[in-house]
Amino acid sequence: MVSAILGKKVGMTQVFRENGDVVPVTVLKAGPCIVIQRKTAQRDGYEAVQLGLVELPGPRRLSKAAEGHFKKAAANPVRFLREVRLTDSGAEVNLGDKVLADIFKAEERVDVIGTSKGRGFAGFHKRHHFGGGGASHGSMFHRAPGSIGASAFPSRVLKGMRAAGHMGTDRVTVRNLRVVQVLPEENALLVEGAVPGPKGGYVIVRKARAPHKAAARPA
């Protein structure tokens, strides 16, 4: 079966439990998705499907290769395509099948994959979360990087040294988020906590790979 869905981050809000506790949630537009391509172990070496997120309007311009790719699945062109592994190799999944938000249930655990916000060029304090030096008067070591290499040997800065540079736009996975509510009529999911990326950013929502046992919540 298909255990993941493509979507977009709508934004954050809050819901209330029956006892009055506030729960911060992220609203995700989850689907509808359509199966564009089916990969099998016999032909491709693994079991997977390529999903496309249905959006209106669709892309204006396509290459000849992309047109043929969508035409083979008898599907309208889409902007966001991602490949998802199948948990069951014998699952009956065909081209053109729809994948909707109702594959998830409330209280289920999911992993959300997105692209973090771009921060441009950032210093090493912000980029790598350095604590900084002493803040007292006369320390002269407030936001300095400190030593980055030895003078005698190897007499150079080693590759991989944490330094200032481009920050953000990385693939980020947040694991074991709780599904608070499923709204199949609106193709939406409410998941507890924060999700990487800006509003309108594309995300992949999959069933948790290693779900942990949730502690009992007060009524």
pLDDT over 90, % of the chain: 30
Indicate the average pLDDT of the chain: 86
pLDDT one-digit tens code per residue, 130-177:
888 888 888 888 888 888 888 888 888 899 899 899 999 999 999 999
pLDDT one-digit tens code per residue, 43-87:
888 888 889 888 888 888 888 888 888 888 888 888 888 988 887
Entry pTM: 0.81
Longest dimension (CA), the chain: 71
Q: The tokens 């669709």 sit on which residue?
A: 58
Q: Give a three-class secondary structure readout of 73-96.
A: CCCCCCCCEEEEECCCCCCCCCCC
